[in-house]
Amino acid sequence: MNEGSLARALGALRSTHMPELASDRVRDELERAWRDRADRPQRRGLAVPAFARAFALVTVVVVTGFLTLRAGADSPLYSARIAIEDTLVLFQADRVEYVTALYEERAEEAARLEAVGNALAAGHAREAEADTLRLLNRIMPRTEDPSPEPSPAIVVAPTAEPSPAPTVTPTPIPTATRPGTPPPAPAPTPKPATTRPSTVTPTATPAYFTVHATGYVTSADGTPVNDACVSTGIDSSCVTSTTNGRIDFVLVGRKGQSITLYVRKLDPLTGATQRGKVTTVVTGPTLFLGQIVIRVI
Amino acid sequence: MVKAAQAGDASAFGKLYELYRDPVYRYCLARSGATHDAEDLVADVFLRAMEALERYEDRGLPFVAFLFRIARNAAIDRSRRTRPDMSIEDLTNDPESDHNVESAAARSSERQALVNAMSKLKADYRDVLLLRFVEGYGAAEVGRMTGRSEGAVRTLQHRALDRLRRELDRSGASALFDRWGGAEAAK
Mean pLDDT for chain A overall: 76
Q: Do the bridges between strand A209-219 and strand A286-296 make them parallel or antiparallel, or are there none, so unpaired?
A: parallel
Task: Give the pLDDT score at A296.
Answer: 83
The ipTM assigned to this model is: 0.70
Instruction: Provide the 10 A C-beta neighbour count for residue A131.
Output: 17
Grade residue A60 by pLDDT with cuts at 50, 70 and 90. Answer: very high
Q: What percent of chain A has a predicted confidence (pLDDT) above 70?
A: 75
SS3 for A140? coil
Please tell me which of the candidates B10, B114, B185 has its beta carbon nearest to residue A13.
Answer: B114
Residue closest to A205 by CA, chosen among A256, A161, A251? A256
The C-alpha angle A250, A252, A257, rounded to 5 degrees, equals 120
Minimum Cα–Cα distance from A3: chain B residue: B161
Task: Give the pLDDT score at A152.
Answer: 38
B89: contact with A, CB 8 A cutoff? no
Over residues A100-146, the pLDDT tens digits come to 888 888 888 888 888 888 888 888 888 888 888 888 888 877 555 44
Could B39 and A3 be called an inter-chain contact, meaning their C-beta atoms sit closer than 8 Å?
no
Could B111 and A16 be called an inter-chain contact, meaning their C-beta atoms sit closer than 8 Å?
yes
Grade residue A229 by pLDDT with cuts at 50, 70 and 90. Answer: very high
Which residues 100-129 on chain B approach chain A with CB closer than 8 angstroms? 107, 110-111, 114-115, 129
Task: Give the pLDDT score at A194.
Answer: 44
Which residues on chain A are in Cβ contact (under 8 Å) with B158? 3
Over residues A237-255, the pLDDT tens digits come to 888 889 888 898 888 888 8
Could A19 and B93 be called an inter-chain contact, meaning their C-beta atoms sit closer than 8 Å?
yes
Task: Give the pLDDT score at A160.
Answer: 41
Task: Give the pLDDT score at A44.
Answer: 55
Residue A14 DSSP code: G
Which residues on chain B are in Cβ contact (under 8 Å) with A33? 47, 50
CB of B134 within 8 A of CB of A14?
yes
Give the lowest-confidence range in A175-184, A270-279, B62-71, B175-184.
A175-184
Over residues A188-219, the pLDDT tens digits come to 444 444 444 444 444 455 677 888 888 889 88
Could A10 and B129 be called an inter-chain contact, meaning their C-beta atoms sit closer than 8 Å?
yes
Grade residue A264 by pLDDT with cuts at 50, 70 and 90. Answer: very high
Q: Give the predicted TM-score (pTM) of the model.
A: 0.43
Could A8 and B42 be called an inter-chain contact, meaning their C-beta atoms sit closer than 8 Å?
no
CB of A195 within 8 A of CB of A114?
yes
CA distance A94 to B36: 66
Over residues B147-175, the pLDDT tens digits come to 889 899 999 999 998 898 888 888 777 66
Please tell me which of the candidates B21, B43, B134 has its beta carbon nearest to residue A14.
Answer: B134
User: Mean pLDDT per 10-residue run, chain B (187 residues)?
Assistant: 84 90 87 82 90 82 86 81 47 44 64 82 87 87 87 91 87 68 50
Residue closest to B165 by CA, chosen among A7, A12, A15? A7
**Residues B53, B18, B37, A31, CA torsion sign:** positive
CA distance A6 to A23: 29
Distance from the Cα of residue A97 to its chain's centroid: 15
A53 to chain B, closest Cα gap in Å: 15
